[in-house]
Amino acid sequence: MDFSIILSILTGLVALGAAGFFVYSILQEPDGTKKMNEVALAIREGANAYLKRQYSTVAVFVFILFLIIGFAVGWSVAFAFIVGSVLSALAGFIGMSISVRANVKTAQAAEKSLQKALDVSTRGGAVTGITLVGLGLIGVTVFYVLFHNPLVLIGFGFGASLISLFARVGGGIYTKAADVGADLVGKVEKGIPEDDPRNPAVIADNVGDNVGDCAGMAADLFESFVVTIIAAMLLSISVSGVGLAGFQSESMFTTTPLAVASIGVLASIVGTFFFKLKGTKIMSALYKGVIVSTILALIGFFIAFGWTYIFEALIVGLILTLSIFFVTEYYTSKDYSPVQGIARAAKTGAGTNLIQGLAEGMQSVAVPLVLVVLAIIASFEAGGIYGVSLAAVSMLSFPSSHSSPQYLQHYQ
């Protein structure tokens, strides 16, 4: 059996084990005061009710598509579609379940120290990221080994994408509707302060944050991770000269994306232990973990592939990930001019605030767009279209680096 296959299975199991360890450590943290737990319980009940309703509705469409795919394409593809859907939904459920528990524990940890709050929140984000990549690696690898059929892998990815669509869009609509309702009725009409739990719409807003930014984000990341690996494996057909009837047995090109993702996941797990504060700069602590993960991934990539076109394409992906990370902070942090300019514009009225915010938002898209184009060109020069796909896999091989900042922002 190909070493990449063994590595991906072992990495998936290690990821799930690490996620279980983080869950256990979070559950051991104190819950806080009685009032904090009352609010947290209300949010948890609302999030569970929403997710139950959403998944029961989506299950009808999944079953219908399962039958259509089974009769029209094949039952093996339909089975992969079902498994992809279930794992995507599971990733979302785990993400939401840990977030509604880690929220209150992070708030209580903040009473002790900022570092303690950072530890709890980053572990909460890491649980989701590490769990979904563990499930994704095991799922893709098992279906590749069992069937060696591109259509089966496409079915698996299609199932993941379907759940992601419903979870991300549905959760996003819910949270924004609740947010607007809370502000209009609570703040504007009744004069209730921002995020005051006496306003029922605030509870709904926080429920929306969990089902949209946590459950929806988890399903979305699972889908992105899985379909990127599958796309790279499919593109390996053109590189290795294999026909569409099936994958060449143990093709190095086909299993390379699995090895790339596995190395990135292992590096990311180690990186989660380096989110350490020096002062009060939270982003600096996050950068430490990201940089450690990147260095470890580079070492692993070099050991696995040497200085080849594969390694060069992977470097491009890592550089793009770090670049987008820095650009995002620049346009969203209060320490830099874009946000400061919007704040100054707000002093002269809503109109200038809206114009300035819209302008900064448009500018913030330009730089990442240029970076993505340059990365595509560089990775294509290194390894053609296959190199582009490998660069994308290396970008998505750092689950905790992507999800921890998102969850930390939510917990704050």
- How many whole angstroms separate alpha carbon 239 and alpha carbon 313? 15
pLDDT in tens, 184-217: 777 667 677 777 777 777 888 888 877 877 888 8
- Res. 249: pLDDT tops 50: no
Extract the tokens encoding 206: 């926080």
Beta strands in 22-139 (DSSP E): none
pLDDT at residue 278 in the model: 77
pLDDT higher than threshold 50 for residue 396: yes
Q: Please give the Cα distance from 11 to 249 (Å, whole number).
A: 21
Residue in this structure with the two tokens 């051991």, named with its chain if needed: 28
Q: Is 245 helix (H, G, I), strand (E, B) or coil?
A: coil
pLDDT of residue 239: 66
Residue 323 CB-density burial (10 A; 0-12 exposed, 13-18 middle, 19+ buried): middle
The reported pLDDT for the residue numbered 241 is: 54
Determine the 3-state secondary structure of 340 from DSSP: helix
62 pLDDT tier (thresholds 50, 70, 90): very high
Tokens (6 digits) for 13: 């199991």
Higher pLDDT, 32 or 348: 348
CA-wise closest residue to 395 among 305, 303, 268: 268
* Amino acid identity at 357: G
> Is the pLDDT at 319 greater than 90, yes or no?
yes
- The encoded tokens of residue 31 equal 């819950």
CA gap 124, 408 in Å, rounded: 8
Cα atoms in the Cβ-side hemisphere of radius 13 Å centred on 51: 28
Q: What are the helix (H) ranges across 210-281?
A: 217-240, 252-271
- pLDDT tens for 358-387 read 999 998 999 999 999 999 999 999 988 999
Per-residue pLDDT, 408: 43
Type and span of the H or E element at 177: helix 150-181
Query: What gap in Å lies between CA 109 and CA 125, rounded to an integer?
Result: 16
Question: In the predicted model, is pLDDT for residue 402 greater than 60?
Answer: no
How much is the pLDDT for 9? 95
Question: Within a 13 Å sphere around the CA of 52, how many CA atoms are in the beta-carbon half?
Answer: 6
Question: Does residue 163 carry a pLDDT above 50?
Answer: yes
Q: What are the CA-CA distances from residue 330 to residues 202, 219, 289, 351 (Å)?
A: 29, 27, 18, 24
* 169-180 confidence digits (pLDDT tens): 887 788 778 777
* pLDDT(247) > 70: no
Confidence (pLDDT) at 240: 57
The gap from C-alpha 299 to its chain's centroid, in whole angstroms, comes to 24
Indicate whether 81 pLDDT > 80.
Answer: yes
**What gap in Å lies between CA 315 and CA 309, rounded to an integer?**
10
Residue 110, pLDDT score: 86
The pLDDT of residue 104 is: 87
Mean pLDDT, residues 142-150: 89
The pLDDT, as a whole number, for residue 281 is: 77
Mean per-residue pLDDT of the chain: 85
pLDDT digits (tens, 9 = 90+) for 7-29: 999 999 999 999 999 999 998 98
Sign of the CA dihedral running 204, 205, 210, 215: positive
Q: What are phi and psi of 351, to 5 degrees?
A: -60, -50
Q: Name the residue among 368, 407, 96 with its Cα closest to residue 282.
A: 407
Phi–psi pair at 241, nearest 5 degrees: 75, 25
The DSSP secondary-structure symbol of 397 reads: S
pLDDT at 356: 92
